[in-house]
Structure 1
């Protein structure tokens, strides 16, 4: 053991340097695996408790990047521990600087993705588990944030892989960043001779049957789901546009509830004889 320590103190021949490098690489790999395992255990505990907070995003980013940063540290340990490398450190780093400039020019996108990923974790425009929308096609739940890209799980259970440099410059609609409550606009069309009061009553009754519905958080009316606002948005030559303003306490259920409500209201309109819109111009044309 003492002779091994003395050998590492000298590091003046090829085999001692090689053995030292192997040991450093091994312990770097082992350290990164242990850290990843511990972070994974913490994340699993949070997932089991259904906790979603900013620390989850930071932990996942750290888990994805621990090997990268550990490798950089290991590189400097080897350079400054081996006398022959240390003596030529100036030459190595001057050459590395030129090499880094060449690689940096050729890999601008990769570097910008890495920096953008760090900025996302630091400034937190969204976090792992958030429901975000970039446009009509890129919408879903943030599944992971790596050094290079952000993974979004859409509602078809498909993963959207978006480079960090792109998503960091996009306008992101975050449904759940501070508050999971959302106001949904639910539009209904009825005929110009329809009973508006009856149509409003049907919409309100069907809305109260839904889950996750709450009263307007800013309203002074008691929280009994009775404050469902249905307004006439416009009247045209063949239809009346009604809009129901519905508050929900879970943004993830918005699409499902809207589909259920559209179906149930349409069936009630048919059953109770609500006049439905007819496009007279299309009838005449046909």
Structure 2
């Protein structure tokens, strides 16, 4: 045994140094992790330390893999030593690059999130910052991947071309689908021309109405009034003719339309609708000084159409914003219906006369019998 140790003494010392180095590096990594975790929780108590956890895992795995490669040099042939050395440098490079990329992306993401929260607290528009956050994080990860490709000779040309400038667009265009590019361009157009921003209430279709909560590189997220999230690709929403209830003035003219029977008192029906609308607490007096001087009513009521079985009466009622307009409309429809019932104003519904086939044949036979007589 003593002869064995004496013979392989340099190798055993080398192996011991490698093992102790790996253990020491893992110990220092855990100490660094605890310190970074403590600092991050202290500075950002509401943020989850995902980046710190990933850095810890990558570093611990990196030290272990490098240690295994270093120990493997004791048992490989000299002609393979250069390959082993190359693999050691490659893994070290990829490991450090991964850590730098993750830390850079996490730092950019955290900075944008803090800036967005600050803008929200100051009642400012955070839309641009939210969109730029996705671009910054995406760009950092893409750059990290391209630098990783530089480590592989067969992919080095692609990486250099992409990092050269205009090649980035060509690379993305080559690997991405047309739909993905359309969504990306659509998101850029939305942020640039601002047809809507975060917090706006928009109407894309009759079934897609809600508040914009996020605009990403691919899609726009809307929270409807059932508290459900509607995800619409940017390429689609960029082509739609949508209604933005927060663009420009917030006040809205709500049209209350009700059909009454032809034999009902039209003047009384108009008076009821006007009275109920004008006394509603959410009604907005949108009259100009000239209208007030001329004695025009707060709520205008007129007959708008003569239908097959009803006369349509419309009231133009103004509200301060979309939410109040919706509440006002629902409450006015109920109040007007109750007044109509009390005042004898009929709201007609379609009548249909059904003729049974058997009864029709009986009439034909009866008519034929009378003709024969």
Conserved 8 A contact 2:305-2:313: yes
Aligned to 1:183: 253
**Paired residue for 1:93, among 149, 153, 160?**
160
Secondary structure at the aligned position of 1:220 is classed as helix
1:90–1:285 CA distance, 2 compared to 1 (3 A) = closer
Is the counterpart of residue 240 in structure 1 residue 311 in structure 2?
yes
What 5-or-longer segments of structure 2 have no aligned partner?
1-87, 356-373
Secondary structure at the aligned position of 1:139 is classed as strand
Q: Distance in 2 between matches of 1:167 and 1:141?
A: 14
Of 151-160 and 29-38, deviating more is 29-38
Secondary structure at the aligned position of 1:32 is classed as helix
RMSD over aligned CA atoms reads 3.4
Conserved 8 A contact 1:192-1:237: no
Q: How does 1:65-104 map to 2 (within 5 A)?
A: 65-74=135-144, 78=147, 90=157, 92-94=159-161, 100=172, 102-104=174-176
1:85-122 per-position Cα deviation (integer Å, ceiling 9, x unaligned): 99x96563348968645413xx2222221121111000
Q: How does 1:159-178 map to 2 (within 5 A)?
A: 159-178=229-248
Deviation at 1:176, TM superposition (A): 1.8
Q: Which has the larger radius of gyration?
A: 2
Q: Distance in 1 between matches of 2:172 and 2:132?
A: 24
TM-score, length-normalised on structure 2? Answer: 0.60
1:175-204 per-position Cα deviation (integer Å, ceiling 9, x unaligned): 221121111111012222222222222112
1:278–1:27 CA distance, 2 compared to 1 (3 A) = closer
Of 256-265 and 56-65, deviating more is 56-65
Aligned to 1:274: 345
**Paired residue for 2:108, among 17, 32, 35?**
32
Aligned to 1:5: none
**Paired residue for 2:328, among 246, 251, 257?**
257
1:148-172 per-position Cα deviation (integer Å, ceiling 9, x unaligned): 1001111211111111111111111
Q: Distance in 2 between matches of 1:222 and 1:136?
A: 35
Is the counterpart of residue 119 in structure 1 residue 189 in structure 2?
yes
**Paired residue for 1:201, among 245, 266, 271?**
271
1:177-236 per-position Cα deviation (integer Å, ceiling 9, x unaligned): 112111111101222222222222211221123343212355634499942000011234
Q: Distance in 1 between matches of 2:255 and 2:310?
A: 18
1:121-167 per-position Cα deviation (integer Å, ceiling 9, x unaligned): 00111111222122222222212111110011112111111111111
What 5-or-longer segments of structure 1 have no aligned partner?
1-11
Secondary structure at the aligned position of 1:213 is classed as coil
1:20–1:229 CA distance, 2 compared to 1 (3 A) = same
1:212–1:93 CA distance, 2 compared to 1 (3 A) = farther
Of 95-104 and 145-154, deviating more is 95-104
1:160–1:134 CA distance, 2 compared to 1 (3 A) = same
Conserved 8 A contact 2:116-2:126: no
1:230–1:66 CA distance, 2 compared to 1 (3 A) = same
TM-score, length-normalised on structure 1? Answer: 0.77
Secondary structure at the aligned position of 1:277 is classed as coil
Aligned residues: 261
1:101–1:125 CA distance, 2 compared to 1 (3 A) = closer
More helix by share: 2
Deviation at 1:66, TM superposition (A): 3.0
Of 159-168 and 250-259, deviating more is 250-259
